[in-house]
Structure 1
Amino acid sequence: MTPTPHDALFKATFSQPEHAAAALREVLPAAVTARIDFATLALQSGSFIDQKLAASQSDLLFSARLGRTSVFIYVLFEHQSTTHPLMAFRLLEYMVRIWHGYLERHPKSTRIPAILPVVLHHSDTGWNAAVAFQELIDLPPGTLALIAEHVPHFRFVLDDISAETDEALRARAMTALGRLVLWCFRHARRPDELVARLSGWYEVVREVRRAPGGGAALARVWRYILNIADPAQPRELLQRLLAAAGPEAEEEIVTIADYLREQGRLAGEREGQRSALLKQLRLRFGELPEQVVARVRAADAAQIEGWIERVITSPTLDDVLTER
């Protein structure tokens, strides 16, 4: 599945331990951060979210030393318009998947590592649901205390940036890139407002550019803004973005804008070729099976071109679609 702009920027930025460590120090309880050796923070492979939720969630798993043992830190980024009331249950499912993976790698282990769940959230409403798993248990009043030790019990760390001001985000003890990316997420639903406010972040942008790899990092930010904007007047938005980002960003932004336009043109051409191929196949062979339509929709440019060349001369539908 093609990653969303939110997913791509989140992972490109916070998969780097430097940016992740600073963000985690900001939101984890101080007593916990004092015991974690963030110099050992390391990204782990894998994603644990349900594929049907991939358009609204992204996740990263880290490990770090805590005293004489290791702990997992699981960060879930939720970028949807509302709060999910069963988030604690969803997190429990993801945590169990993490433990399953750990035990597959360590089949002789008789203990499992702790997982610190962290949710980065942004919505129109702000967070308004439970953050503790036990709050989801449906029991008569006063009963939970009687069975509390017999049911799962955890709270996730919530970083709700929905109502954070620009000043509060700018003041966070994080890397410049981390602060800039969170600010972009905070205003992502109103791209025009994001661009209008960008000039106020000029010094942060300059700080990002001065850091190692800063130019490439900013290119990802500009691509994100242009991807989410989808403006009615793209040229006007581009000019506003150029004015707000400063002259240093002109080459980066113009190059990315050209790239996005070219990708859009190519995508349009490919979609036109798919539609033309499906029409030709129906004219030759009648109504098409669903799996054939799905195969054409998922095909790349080279496959489509090959099928178009064979559709007139091939005697059967199978012969058209047979790879050669």
Structure 2
Amino acid sequence: MTNNHHDPAYKRFFSQPVMIKDLLVEYVGEDWVKELDFSTLEKQNGSYAADDYRDRHDDLIWRVRWGKEWLYVYLLLEFQSDIDHFMAVRMMTYLGLLYQDLIAQGKLTSDGQLPPVLPVVLYNGQRRWSAATDIDSLIERIPGGLSAYRPQMRYMLLDEGALLSKDNSPELHSLVHALFRLEHSRTPDDMRSIVATLSKWLVKPEQRPIRREFAIWIQRVLLRRKPFADSKLFDWEEVQDLEEVNEMLAERMNEWEREWKQEGRLEGRQEGRQEGRQEGLLAGEGKSLLLLLEQKFGKEAAEQYRPRVEQADEPTIQQWLINILTANSIEEVFR
């Protein structure tokens, strides 16, 4: 995942009402969510913070009707490579600033109280989140009555990787689910499948903006990361639609396949001259398998299995070549 503190593309995604609705319905999923009137979703101005926080670009504030009152959603997009151990303190500070602004604007409930706020941290780093989600656990405990004055504040954590690791369904459930799956996809074929589903979902004229956001994000951001980084993909003019993304991936996948086959044949011919035609063919198949492993699971993972591939016989390698087509992990290839 990116080491940047924020991802402007993600902020554009979650500036769309449909994405906030999907996030709340699918990943919060508590009973009170069913009582929200999503037709009233309104994005709020987040420039409420004190001077020290005005340059922050990684948060979004929405409000939605809950009965006769407003409920606020404070969404913090967290993409730092290092996990913030004191995230609960940051969130308490941000919520305090939000409440100060709501007081100043007179945006209180009909009873003159502060409106409820759901604080959410959306994290998509490779490591699993390990920081406390409750500020209470960060404060040293002292015996006696002082504990009565400890601040209480908990935020909701949505760790993309952890959520997907518990998701065994091959079907996509929502646009947010599709975004998470794309973010953590490991092969161009996986990406094409998700893009095809998005193309079927997003057909209405009013869905054109979010459709375009997905297309641009895939080309500008996703395809520039390993293991997809490929300079030939960047030769394409900027895409504006998911169909163009699909065409781009399909063309490049065909080129990858031709390259793998050619490299495998060349390796096979070289080995064949030295050790005979059969050994050369076997070496070519092994080379093709290693190239496929590297493309799908990364060079480091492929190198760990190189000795096993080099020692395998032809039927075994052929079975592994079949396994790799549907494997979700490198271990599944070698079962």
Q: Give the TM interval when normalised to the shorter protein.
A: 0.5 to 0.7
Q: Deviation digits for residues 261-293 of structure 1, max 9, x if unmatched?
A: xxxxxxxxxxxxxxxxxxxxxxxxxxxxxxxxx
In structure 2, relative to structure 1, the CA distance for the partners of 1:168 and 1:99 (3 Å cut) is farther
Residue in structure 2 matching 1:129, options 103, 128, 131: 131
Percent identity, please: 21
Please list every run of 5 or more consecutive structure 2 residues that lacks an aligned counterpart in the other structure: 252-335
Residue in structure 2 matching 1:205, options 198, 209, 227: 198
Secondary structure at the aligned position of 1:34 is classed as: helix
Does structure 1 residue 234 correspond to structure 2 residue 231?
Answer: yes
In structure 2, relative to structure 1, the CA distance for the partners of 1:238 and 1:202 (3 Å cut) is farther
Task: Tell me, yes or no, if the aligned pair for 1:170 and 1:179 is still in contact at 8 Å.
Answer: no
In structure 2, relative to structure 1, the CA distance for the partners of 1:101 and 1:58 (3 Å cut) is same
Q: Distance in 2 between the 1:136 and 1:149 partners?
A: 15
Q: Distance in 1 between the 2:147 and 2:5 partners?
A: 41
Q: Distance in 2 between the 1:186 and 1:34 partners?
A: 29
Secondary structure at the aligned position of 2:82 is classed as: coil
- The alpha-carbon deviation at position 90 of structure 1 amounts to 0.3
How many residues get paired? 236
> Which position in structure 2 is the counterpart of 1:139?
141
- Which structure 2 residues correspond to residues 150-299 of structure 1 after superposition, within 5 A? 150-163=149-162, 164-165=164-165, 171=171, 173-174=173-174, 176=175, 178-186=176-184, 193=186, 195=188, 197-228=190-221, 229=224, 233-236=230-233, 249-250=246-247
- Which structure 2 residues correspond to residues 38-187 of structure 1 after superposition, within 5 A? 38-47=38-47, 54=56, 58-106=58-106, 111-140=113-142, 143=143, 146-163=145-162, 164-165=164-165, 171=171, 173-174=173-174, 176=175, 178-186=176-184
Task: Tell me, yes or no, if the aligned pair for 1:21 and 1:38 is still in contact at 8 Å.
Answer: yes
Please list every run of 5 or more consecutive structure 1 residues that lacks an aligned counterpart in the other structure: 188-192, 255-324
Query: In the alignment, residue 80 of structure 2 is paired with which amino acid?
Result: Q
| TM-score relative to the length of structure 1 | 0.60
Q: Deviation digits for residues 177-203 of structure 1, max 9, x if unmatched?
A: x3332334445xxxxx36453123143
- The alpha-carbon deviation at position 75 of structure 1 amounts to 1.0
Q: Distance in 2 between the 1:230 and 1:201 partners?
A: 18
In structure 2, relative to structure 1, the CA distance for the partners of 1:66 and 1:183 (3 Å cut) is same
Q: Distance in 1 between the 2:169 and 2:188 partners?
A: 16
Secondary structure at the aligned position of 2:205 is classed as: coil
- The alpha-carbon deviation at position 236 of structure 1 amounts to 4.5
- The alpha-carbon deviation at position 160 of structure 1 amounts to 0.7
In structure 2, relative to structure 1, the CA distance for the partners of 1:115 and 1:194 (3 Å cut) is farther
In structure 2, relative to structure 1, the CA distance for the partners of 1:186 and 1:32 (3 Å cut) is farther
Tell which has more relative contact order, 1 or 2 (C-alpha 8 A, sep 6+): 1
Query: What RMSD in Å do the two structures reach over aligned CA positions?
Result: 3.9
Q: Distance in 1 between the 2:54 and 2:81 partners?
A: 16
| TM-score relative to the length of structure 2 | 0.58
Q: Distance in 1 between the 2:133 and 2:166 partners?
A: 25
In structure 2, relative to structure 1, the CA distance for the partners of 1:131 and 1:48 (3 Å cut) is farther
